[in-house]
Amino acid sequence: MTNPWNNSLRFSILMLIEMVSIFSSLHKSCKRLFIFLPLIIGLLINPISANALYPSDPSSVDVLKDDLHGADLHNTEYVKYDLSNQDLGEANLQGAYMSVTTAKNSSFKGANMKDLIAYATRFDNADFTDANLTNGELMKSVFDGAIIDGADFTDANLDLKTRKSLCERATGTNSQTGVNTADSLECSGLKGYTPPKPKA
């Protein structure tokens, strides 16, 4: 016959172990909170401006002056570079890495930009006609006024706001991949999407 006192003792021990485990978890959680609390308070008091992500003075970053049209630039890195007004048409930028770089008014016509990583990069008024940007990681980058006729963005990672903006002017088909620009951006899946009117 089972001794009821033994069962009661086992139950008490199990409950004690469970309580110790719970208190241990709470202690770890509180410890993490106290570690990150000063950082959270600091960000609330003095938030980082979004403009701080981008170079405001082109003269403060490195400048490339060579003719880059058709150049083989795969797997190259550009951190805080000024690539403004450059002709990178038909260049091979596959696997290249850009961070906090400005490439305003530059031409990427027909460029191979597959697997490009471009974080917080300015592509204002750049020309991406027939460029291949498949599998690109393009978060926090800006494409204001960029020409994207025939550009292929298949599986590219973009901010939703940027994707919506690009869809407003997504026209053409990429000559290399045969993919329609609007389809590559999955524009039809966006709420309220209306295809842009064909150019006269």
Report the chain's mean pLDDT, rounded to a whole number.
Answer: 80
Q: Percent of the chain at pLDDT above 90?
A: 60
- CATH number for the domain whose boundaries are 51-200: 2.160.20.80
pLDDT of residue 173: 97
Tokens matching residue 15: 């409950």
Note the pLDDT tens digit of each residue in 43-102. 455 544 444 455 545 544 454 556 789 999 999 999 988 999 999 999 999 999 999 999
List of residues 6+ apart from 60 with CB closer than 8 A: 80
Domain residue spans of the chain: 1-47, 51-200
Cα–Cα distances in Å, from 97 out to 78, 100, 200? Answer: 6, 10, 37
pLDDT of residue 192: 82
